[in-house]
Structure 1
Amino acid sequence: MQNRLQRILNSKELVTMEEELLISEEEYQKSGVQIGTQLKTKDMLKYIFKIRNDGLYILDLKYTDKMIKVAGKMLSRINPGEILVVAQRQYAFRPVTKFSEVTGARSIIGRFIPGTLTNPNLETYTEAKAIIVTDPLADTQVMKEARNVGSPVIAFCDANNTTDFVDIVIPSNNKGRRSLALVYWLLAREILLKKGEIKDYSEYKFSVEDFESQI
């Protein structure tokens, strides 16, 4: 899996992936995907577009868009039942649940029990060929276990996140209700397209609102 991941990341297709955005910048901005935090890490520096007057770091939407495409391409090659999506933030519960429903991936929302990926004696034990995490800060245990078992990690990373255990970084606001709905909606759409389950985006029958938390 790691070799396949590296081939995708090194692929010439990444060049063409940059040519056209999945949605317009205005649509990204309306959902606040680009709104970061007032703290930044060295790991996320390359993904930051600018800093606002109020001290908020603004994420580069071109990176967000490109890495959703990269993640979608990789995940489309994996049996959906072998993809695990994890979220401990409440605003992510609905997006993750809907993502799993649309793509067939498995999900864990709420508390992640230590050993779930590494201890076969636990009732919650599960195996996964790829892990998606909503926030590396909240999901550190998941990522450490994924590293131990060799499963690549895709993470939605805000300006304040570190990426030590992340294989594919999708820079995005991972705290906002609308932002989380949009990025999971886009990633699910991209997976279905790459798998050939939809011929083009017009066949994608789900709305961003379907993915949005009502809390």
Structure 2
Amino acid sequence: MELLIQKSDYAKYRINKGGLSISNKFKKFLSWRTSTGRNMMDIAKIDQRIRLGAKLLSNYKDVLIIGTKFDEKYSKKFAELMGFKFLSKFRCGMLSNPEYKGYLEPEIIFVTNTELLRNAISEAELVGLPVIGYCNTDSNLSCIDYIIPINTTSEKALAVAFWLIAKECLNKKITLEEFLE
């Protein structure tokens, strides 16, 4: 199967660059290890997970994207483009307490960082919501229903991944340059 973008572009944007440590569940997404001990993710598997993640998201109307300050620019743009709700700051009770002023009832949540957004993931599990997550080699994968392996420490890598998912979901000719504006 042809990749969504050239293999060299995946490398250029460092989408496949992992961390120095690795969780056991993540090993299936690895390709090789550098001489300095950095884990590199398998580009074909990243591409496949992005495609399948896009298909999964397109089955839901009420999706909540939960981002961090680090990725807010592109996660928010992705949410707007897709017509999804977006949060840059998650507060406990937003998914589990109907009396909470900011209570939300999405069908699925998509988190951009499984370490920083652990409260949102735990709360989603508590109420039975499926969770899609961008995960790096050292991410905590518990309670993540669908893993998209990616370098979560690179803003450009996250932006390219969001662009690829949007492009797949919307079947649009949206260029990376347009998305990055």
Tell me the TM-score normalized by structure 1: 0.80
SS in 2 for 1:169: strand
Note if contact 1:99-1:211 (Cα within 8 Å) is conserved in structure 2.
no
Q: Find the aligned partners of 2:177 and 2:138 in 1 and give their Cα distance.
A: 25
Equivalent in the alignment of 1:72 = 54
Does residue 96 (structure 1) correspond to residue 65 (structure 2)? The answer is no
Note if contact 1:83-1:129 (Cα within 8 Å) is conserved in structure 2.
yes
Q: Find the aligned partners of 2:122 and 2:8 in 1 and give their Cα distance.
A: 36
- Taking only the aligned residue pairs, the percentage that are identical comes to 28
**Which residue type is aligned with residue 87 of structure 2?**
I
Equivalent in the alignment of 2:179 = 210
Query: Cα–Cα, structure 1 residues 53 and 134, in superposed 2: closer, same or farther, change >3 Å?
Result: same
Q: Find the aligned partners of 1:64 and 1:179 in 2 and give their Cα distance.
A: 12
Equivalent in the alignment of 1:84 = 64
Equivalent in the alignment of 2:19 = 37
Q: Find the aligned partners of 1:21 and 1:210 in 2 and give their Cα distance.
A: 19
| Alignment counterpart, residue 48 of structure 1, candidates 23, 26, 30 | 30
Equivalent in the alignment of 2:104 = 126
SS in 2 for 1:91: coil
Tell me the TM-score normalized by structure 2: 0.95
Q: Find the aligned partners of 2:134 and 2:74 in 1 and give their Cα distance.
A: 13
5+ residue gaps in structure 1? 1-18, 199-203
5+ residue gaps in structure 2? none
**Which residue type is aligned with residue 100 of structure 1?**
A
Note if contact 2:124-2:131 (Cα within 8 Å) is conserved in structure 1.
yes
* 1:135 Cα offset (Å): 1.1
Q: Find the aligned partners of 1:104 and 1:209 in 2 and give their Cα distance.
A: 17
Does residue 163 (structure 1) correspond to residue 141 (structure 2)? The answer is yes
Equivalent in the alignment of 2:87 = 108
Note if contact 1:181-1:208 (Cα within 8 Å) is conserved in structure 2.
no
CA RMSD between the two structures: 1.4
Deviations 1:180-206 (A, max 9, x none): 11001111111112xxxx4xxxxx234
SS in 2 for 1:94: helix
Note if contact 1:44-1:162 (Cα within 8 Å) is conserved in structure 2.
no
Does residue 148 (structure 1) correspond to residue 117 (structure 2)? The answer is no
Deviations 1:146-193 (A, max 9, x none): 112221111111000121111111110011011011001111111112
Equivalent in the alignment of 1:135 = 113
* 1:209 Cα offset (Å): 6.0
Deviations 1:26-66 (A, max 9, x none): 11111000111111111211111111111111011111111
Equivalent in the alignment of 1:24 = 6
Equivalent in the alignment of 2:156 = 178
Dislocated runs of 4+, deviation >6 Å: none
**Which residue type is aligned with residue 66 of structure 1?**
Q
